[in-house]
């Protein structure tokens, strides 16, 4: 039996002020898959995610979602309304029914168990990313959409987050669609890499990093455990 398609995008087009942002974008996310969406800044990655989520409407094209889809989503830029006094725990529970044990387990998994009683607005960027991930997980998702979850994190923080995402994908088996602006390094966990620059330039599977060749890095060994390279195979050129 082939894995079930959870979300499919068919010929999505979007223009903004006469400029083409998305051009005939089509792809599918199947159960258990891990798609990494890469592309330079301004390539239309976040617009595509917003269309998938129904936050903005495409000019034309269709999004199909399977009926029993449960979405977990972490936005790229999250600004909590600064005027609302709310604790991390209350934010996690907001508009979803969660039993306390599940909340504590998820907070422990994401490493925010000591932050639960703090005001939401007192968190650092990295802590907020973890809180958002925790909130997404509390929805018991079968699809996790992560828009540049590692932004604003130092290398150590990025690694922890990637490790966490890998664990979640392996253990909970939910499909993942992760956006990254790193063009050459993607998570090894990725089953498919989509390279977007307004249209889908290429797609394919990542290749394992050749040890210490390109990325002579302080954390190279640990990073290698999690990351892989992606070789672009474009058959066309852009006027960038």
User: Cβ distance 37 to 180 under 8 Å?
Assistant: yes
From the list 42, 54, 125, 173, which residue makes contact with another protein (rule: CB under 8 A)? Answer: 54
Residue 95 within binding range of another protein, rule CB under 8 A: yes
Pairing of strands 227-229, 207-208: antiparallel
The DSSP string of 94-108 is TTS---HHHHHHHHH
Total residues at interface with another protein (CB under 8 A):
24
Helix, strand, coil shares of the chain as percentages rounded to 5? Answer: 30, 30, 40
How far is the C-alpha of 171 from the C-alpha of 118, rounded, in Å?
Answer: 29
From the list 84, 104, 155, 183, which residue makes contact with another protein (rule: CB under 8 A)? Answer: 84
Q: How far is the CB of 1 from another protein (least distance, A)?
A: 28
Q: CB-wise, 35 or 143, nearer to another protein?
A: 143
DSSP letter at 87?
B
The angle that helices 155-172 and 125-138 make with each other, rounded to 10 degrees, is: 10
From the list 31, 116, 139, 203, which residue makes contact with another protein (rule: CB under 8 A)? Answer: 139
The backbone region for 45, taken as left when phi is positive above 0, alpha when psi lies in -120 to 50, beta otherwise, is: alpha
Residue 85 within binding range of another protein, rule CB under 8 A: yes
Q: How far is the CB of 89 from another protein (least distance, A)?
A: 10
Single out the segment in contact with another protein by CB under 8 A; choices: 13-21, 80-88, 188-196, 224-232: 80-88
Q: CB-wise, 94 or 183, nearer to another protein?
A: 94
From the list 11, 16, 26, 55, which residue makes contact with another protein (rule: CB under 8 A)? Answer: 55
Single out the segment in contact with another protein by CB under 8 A; choices: 53-61, 123-131, 193-201, 210-218: 53-61
From the list 57, 86, 155, 208, which residue makes contact with another protein (rule: CB under 8 A)? Answer: 86
User: Cβ distance 199 to 186 under 8 Å?
Assistant: no
How far is the C-alpha of 50 from the C-alpha of 225, rounded, in Å?
Answer: 31
Q: Which residues bind another protein (CB under 8 A)?
A: 50, 53-55, 71, 73, 75, 78-81, 83-87, 90-91, 94-96, 119, 135, 139
């Amino acid at each position: 039996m082939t894995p079930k398609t959870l979300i499919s995008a068919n010929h999505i087009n979007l223009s903004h002020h006469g400029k083409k942002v998305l051009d005939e974008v089509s792809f599918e996310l199947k159960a258990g898959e891990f798609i990494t969406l890469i592309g330079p800044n301004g390539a239309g990655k976040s617009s595509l995610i917003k269309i998938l989520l129904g936050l903005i409407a495409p000019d034309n094209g269709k999004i199909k979602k399977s009926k029993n889809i449960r979405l977990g989503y972490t936005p790229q830029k999250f600004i909590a309304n600064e005027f609302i006094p709310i604790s991390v725990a209350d934010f996690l529970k907001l508009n979803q029914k969660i039993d306390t044990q599940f909340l504590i387990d998820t907070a422990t998994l994401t490493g925010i168990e000591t932050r639960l009683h703090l005001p939401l607005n007192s968190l650092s960027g990295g802590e907020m990313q973890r809180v958002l991930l925790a909130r997404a997980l509390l929805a018991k998702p079968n699809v996790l959409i992560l828009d540049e979850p590692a932004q604003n994190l130092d290398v150590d923080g990025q690694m922890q987050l990637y490790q966490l995402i890998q664990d979640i994908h392996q253990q909970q088996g939910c499909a993942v669609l992760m956006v990254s602006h790193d063009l050459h390094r993607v998570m090894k966990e990725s089953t498919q890499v989509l390279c977007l620059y307004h249209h889908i330039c290429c797609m394919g599977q990542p290749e394992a990093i050749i040890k210490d060749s390109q990325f002579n890095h302080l954390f190279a060994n640990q990073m290698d455990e999690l990351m892989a390279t992606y070789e672009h195979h474009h058959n066309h050129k852009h006027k960038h």
